[in-house]
Amino acid sequence: MHPRPDPTGPGQESVWDYPRPPSADVTPRRVEAVLGGAVLASTDRAARVCETSHPPVFYIPREDIADGVLQRADGASWCEWKGVATYWDAVVDGVRHPAVGWSYENPTEGYRHLRGAVAFYPSKLDRATVDGEVVRSQAGDFYGGWITDEVVGPFKGEAGTRGW
């Protein structure tokens, strides 16, 4: 059972209009991730992944992530569309921040352009921005959506949304 989508305003998108399987398109928008006072990543060529009921997730090319901050984390998960996810810790000024992001090192056909790009959990960063707008985190301990003023829900991840 799906909820009733929130109304959209001018310039807004409903996550209920996003496709399943998800889209994954490169965007020229400025996407940044900041942790421990340092810019971990900054790009204008992230892949914006949009899936029904989820806020967009931005995958940042590895070349646009600060050198030496990522270290492989324990664990993995599986996405029915993209394949096996690898998790990443970030080490900033000698401090390890566990599982701040994930990537698909060998994504499935149709998502090959995500290979090695890293998606960061906004909830585990000091700040994440899209074109200068500070992102709000998607609820739940599994999801990594980037909520901006341009997207409306309701979003999967809140209590009671597991069955969506």
Q: Which residues make Cβ contacts (< 8 Å) with residue 87, sequence separation at least 6?
A: 72, 73, 74, 75, 76, 77, 99, 101, 102
Bond before 154 cis per omega within 30 degrees? yes
pLDDT of residue 113: 96
What are the residue ranges spanned by the domains of the chain? 11-143
Beta strand 133-134 with 83-92: parallel, antiparallel or unpaired?
Answer: unpaired
> pTM of the predicted model, to two decimals?
0.96
Q: What is the pLDDT of residue 40?
A: 97
Range 11-143 has CATH code 2.170.150.40: yes
pLDDT in tens, the chain (164 residues): 778 999 999 999 999 999 999 999 999 999 999 999 999 999 999 999 999 999 999 999 999 999 999 999 999 999 999 999 999 999 999 999 999 999 999 999 999 999 999 999 999 999 999 999 999 999 987 889 999 999 999 999 988 887 88
| φ, ψ dihedrals at 108, nearest 5° | -70, 165
Q: What is the pLDDT of residue 159?
A: 83
Do 149 and 132 meet the contact criterion of CB atoms below 8 Å apart?
Answer: no
